Chains A and B, each alone.
Chain A
Amino acid sequence: MTQFLQYTLQGLAAGGFYALAALGLAVIFGVLGVVNFSHGACYMLGAMISALLLEHFSLGFWPALVIVPVIMFFVGVLVERLLVQWLLRLDPLYNFLLTFGLTLLTVDIMKRQFGVSSLKYEVPAGLGGRISLGSVDLSIYQLFAAAFAVVICLLVWVGLTKTRVGMIVRAATEDAERSRALGINVARWVTPVFGFGIALAGLAGVLAAPYRAINADMGSNFIIILFAIVVIGGLGSILGAVVAGFLVGLVEAYGQGYYGQLSQVLIFVLMAAVVLVRPAGLFGREEAA
């Protein structure tokens, strides 16, 4: 029982992080209809930039939490303006291929520039070690990362559902034509939303830096899990990404605890099961099916 509880808490902690990482993917798809394959590469860039800030400017974890998302926001804006916007009107496959190409390019450039060995990073002061909650132990940093991620997810959700800007953005995505007719400048919102989604990926990278290997390949495996999460949650659904993030975290932890090497396969078994029962995902819009 203690062990089950321990795995559950670890799963939830990992899940919070997954939710945040998948959130940007969900936001970008929800608003632009773009399946952003480069999300893993942006996550990697977030972690790499954190490590470089530390090495060259002695800027640690806390400043990086602010600086990196800002940098990544502008990276996103640049990519959207230069490339993504031209393909928006075409079949979504084109932007999928574009972001796939960008991923290959980014990963190889980073490899060339910084090699393949992992970069150094430190656990921020005060967040090292672990705490005991009754009979179970948890890494303080993992708890922090999960709590931080949940707060960000909540803020994004509130921002999109309860604020005027959020409503405009949602209206623009629901029905771009009518929104335009009502005098809403749809195009004005598309670019910042893309940048925002990329910033979220960068933020996940900063959170990952203290407890994961920081190298050019770190996003390649991660993006696969992120796709599983958004498929389970329903593409474009923010609530779906969050719930599925936690689900995947739990499944992975139980897998690691009870079925060892099956832990990653179980995630895809879950995905297959969800898609069989609800093709649009847990919170996806059923109009699709």
Chain B
Amino acid sequence: MRHTRMISLAALVASSGLVLTACGSAGGGPSSGGGKISDDKVVLGLLNDQSGVYKDLSGPNSKVAIEMAVADYKAKYGDKAVAKNIEITMADHQNKPDIANSKAQEMYDRDKADIILDVPTSSAGLAVATQAKAKKKLYINIGAGTTALTGAQCNKYTFHWAYDTAMLAAGTAGGIVDGGGKNWSIVYPDYAFGQDMNKSFTAAVEKAGGTVQQSIATPFPNDNFATFITKAESSKPDVMGIMAAGGDLVNFVKQFNQAGLQGKTQLAVGLMFITDIHSLGVDQFQGTQFTDAWYWNFDDQNRAWADKFKEKTNTRPSFAHAGNYSAALNYLEAIQAAGTDDADAVVKELEGKKINDIFLRNGEVRAADHNVIHDVYLAEVKSKAEVKEDWDYEKIVKTIPAADAYAAPSGACSM
């Protein structure tokens, strides 16, 4: 009897692995600011992952970046600063859309935040856009990749500052095909993000004149990719594109290397952060190409900022850190130009603005969809011998001009 019971119990546990869950989100009521500077202070809200997968990539160190922006703004305008009293508030959304939604409400209502910054994880990023729209307050997303922020779910108060999936595809696929990597095999996890990336990459490869020989869907999560890799390699591609992220990306890359493919077949990673390279080590990723929105060691200007950042954090900044700095600084500049923190006035200042700063090169805040386009970079991971110091991991293969990197405003967006 005991055996039968235990078998059904174990079978039940095993079957539970097949069940996946999803989360939703809800909206909230409106409120509005007014006067010159509402509540006599400007409150910047940083909402991101403080404890999970994206903690290193952005997390608490983005607060340091925002503090640097505030200090630079005050130093520049001194007594003439319109925003004299600036506060920063921070919360952890744990990458969950429901938590992001309630934290955003708290920030806008209780903390009197005038703007929310960052918000990685696409579902969470979209939840906050709904709040920004309802509360008529600003929101600049840096950490999430979804094109929906500037597409079907765009709104007047939401801006998308650093990158999106279409730009990753255009940068990486376009750049590698131009460099001679014509034949691709794509391996992608079979859920919303992976499917999106597969679609964007396939379109970008074909647009650049290459061919996608195979698109292979894998379960998510998954830790054994051995046979998927064999299958993807069977068509003898020039390039293998992997669209997984986090632990699955690490599994894939380790097994790709162990299949003896490193250096033989070009590996292209759909979404990769410098923190991924740092945690696994350059040797695992050596030769991998990907699109980076910003690299700290690209030129003297970036490096000078990265040095200041390192003094405060003892680490090098990711593009998300620099993006948060740039977004916060340009928001304060917009308040300065408008003479008020009134959301509508600030939006008006930002729309169409052309920006060159430590993060944005040839940047433009597109008025049509609030996508902030800028030059991005096709990067290749260095070999161990080429690394001269900590975090010196990337060679910039080419700079991709803003107009080539970003798709034209989608017709789906109406403000």
A residues bordering B, Cβ < 8 Å?
A: 3, 6-7, 10-11, 13-14, 29, 33, 35, 37, 92-93, 96, 111, 115-120, 122-123, 128-130, 137, 139-142, 210-213, 215, 217-218, 221-225, 227-228, 230-231, 235-236, 252-253, 256-257, 260-261, 263-265, 268, 271, 275, 279-281, 284-285, 287-289
Contacts and interface: CB of A to CB of B under 8 A. Distances in A.
B409 interface: no
B251 A260 contact: no
Interface stretch (B121-129, B132-140, B255-263): B255-263
A103 B31 CA distance: 45
Interface in B1-20: 1-7, 9-11, 13-18
B227 A256 contact: yes
Contacts of A6: 230
Nearest to B281: A120
Given A3-B234, A280-B3, A288-B4, A13 B250 contact: no
B14 A128 contact: no
A235 to B, nearest CB: 6
Contacts of B99: none
B217 interface: yes
Contacts of B222: 221, 263-264
A117 B249 CA distance: 11
Contact of B7 (A130, A139, A235): A235
Contact of B248 (A213, A252, A261): A213
Nearest to A13: B226
Given A120-B279, A231-B10, A268-B18, A261 B219 contact: yes
A14 B224 contact: yes
Nearest to A216: B247
B18 to A, nearest CB: 6
B11 A285 contact: no
B7 A120 contact: no
Contact of B219 (A137, A211, A231, A264): A264
Contacts of B260: 128-130, 137, 139
A93 B13 CA distance: 12
Contacts of A120: 279-281
Interface string B249-281: 011001101111000000000000001100111
A13 B226 CA distance: 10
B199 interface: no
Contacts of A215: 247, 250
B18 A213 contact: no
B190 A261 contact: yes
Given A116-B53, A213-B247, A260 B254 contact: no
Contacts of A217: 247
Nearest to A230: B10
B1 A221 contact: no
A115 B56 contact: yes
A92 B225 CA distance: 35
Contacts of B279: 117-120
B71 to A, nearest CB: 29
B227 A257 contact: yes
Q: Which residue, B11, B219, B228, B279, has most C-beta atoms of chain A within 10 A?
A: B11
A248 to B, nearest CB: 10
B221 interface: yes
A228 B12 CA distance: 9
20 contacts: A33-B6, A92-B2, A92-B6, A115-B55, A128-B257, A128-B258, A130-B260, A142-B258, A211-B251, A211-B258, A212-B255, A213-B251, A222-B223, A225-B17, A227-B13, A256-B228, A261-B217, A263-B222, A268-B17, A288-B2
A11 B227 contact: yes
B247 A93 contact: no
Interface of B: 1-7, 9-11, 13-18, 51-53, 55-56, 190, 216-219, 221-228, 230-231, 234, 246-248, 250-251, 254-255, 257-260, 275-276, 279-281, 283
B9 A35 contact: yes
A111 B280 CA distance: 17
Contact of B250 (A11, A118, A222): A118
A284 B231 contact: no
Given A14-B224, A92-B2, A211-B258, A280 B14 contact: no
Given A235-B10, A256-B231, 6 more contacts: A10-B230, A211-B255, A253-B227, A256-B218, A256-B226, A265-B18
A184 B222 CA distance: 46
Nearest to B191: A261
The 8 A-B residue pairs with the shortest CB-CB distance, nearest first, are: A288-B3, A224-B17, A213-B250, A256-B227, A130-B260, A227-B14, A213-B247, A117-B279
B3 A287 contact: yes
A268 B258 contact: no
A111 B203 CA distance: 38
A119 B230 CA distance: 25
A139 B14 CA distance: 29
B55 A221 contact: no
A142 B254 CA distance: 12
A274 to B, nearest CB: 10
Contact of B258 (A33, A139, A223): A139
Contacts of B283: 122
B254 to A, nearest CB: 5
A101 to B, nearest CB: 14
B407 to A, nearest CB: 28
A129 B256 CA distance: 10
A117 B54 CA distance: 9
B14 A224 contact: yes
A271 B7 contact: no
B254 A235 contact: no
A130 B230 contact: no
A139 B218 contact: no
B251 A212 contact: yes
B227 to A, nearest CB: 4
A141 B257 CA distance: 11
A141 B258 CA distance: 7
Contacts of A211: 251, 254-255, 258
